[in-house]
């Protein structure tokens, strides 16, 4: 996946290029571009979480069809957690947002936030692989293995949310940076 910061810079229009030449405005323009890249990536990750939840819903439908109630509640709870985390990510703070924002984030911090977002994307990729395996276990009716995989997905989602929380603390200056 290309670095979205580079893509935002490449997609600058004439007005944005002029803004980069205006003294005192260039820094603002760069911060806005980094913030836009960060926002694009977070929306992409939230969309991926929605897709993962959809995959999980298909597994849940298979459980309902086969009357496998042991894992049904556990999977349903996991899918609810996916939805909550997706909403939290989709509506997370965006960093520097103009002339007098409530939370001011400099370029170095914005780049750090972007690195957190890349870590989130890697977590989504791992969970995607695990959901594919879960689907296979559902199709082969390997209920015990499925229960273990659901627990693993729960752990992966908790780790994902932990990175999200670190990101927010770093952004608001209320936590220690890693």
- At 102 the pLDDT is 47
- At 76 the pLDDT is 95
Q: Is the backbone of residue 98 left (phi > 0), alpha (psi -120 to 50) or beta?
A: left
Q: Is the pTM of this model over 0.85?
A: no
Task: Tell which residue, 28, 23, 3, has the closest CA to residue 111.
Answer: 3
Boundaries of every domain in the chain: 40-172
What is the residue whose two structure tokens read 């015990």? 144
- At 3 the pLDDT is 56
- Low-confidence residues of the chain, pLDDT below 50? 96-103, 177-178
Question: What is the tens place of the pLDDT at every residue in 118-164?
Answer: 888 899 999 999 999 999 988 888 888 899 999 999 999 999 999 98
């Amino acid at each position: 996946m290309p670095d979205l910061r580079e893509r935002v810079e490449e997609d600058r229009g004439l007005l944005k290029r002029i803004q980069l030449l205006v003294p005192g405005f260039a820094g603002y323009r760069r911060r806005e571009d980094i913030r836009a890249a960060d926002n694009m990536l977070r929306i992409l990750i939230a969309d991926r979480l929605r897709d993962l939840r959809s995959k999980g819903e298909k597994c849940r439908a298979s459980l309902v069809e086969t009357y496998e109630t042991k894992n049904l509640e556990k999977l349903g709870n996991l899918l609810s957690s996916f939805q909550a985390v997706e909403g939290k990510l989709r509506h997370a703070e965006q960093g520097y947002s103009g002339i007098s924002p409530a939370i001011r984030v400099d370029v170095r911090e914005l780049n750090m936030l972007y690195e957190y977002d890349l870590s989130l994307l890697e977590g989504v990729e791992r969970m995607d692989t695990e959901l594919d395996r879960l689907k296979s276990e559902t199709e082969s009716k390997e209920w015990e293995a499925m229960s273990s995989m659901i627990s693993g997905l729960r752990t992966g989602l908790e780790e994902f949310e932990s990175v999200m929380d670190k990101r927010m603390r770093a952004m608001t200056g209320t936590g220690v940076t890693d």
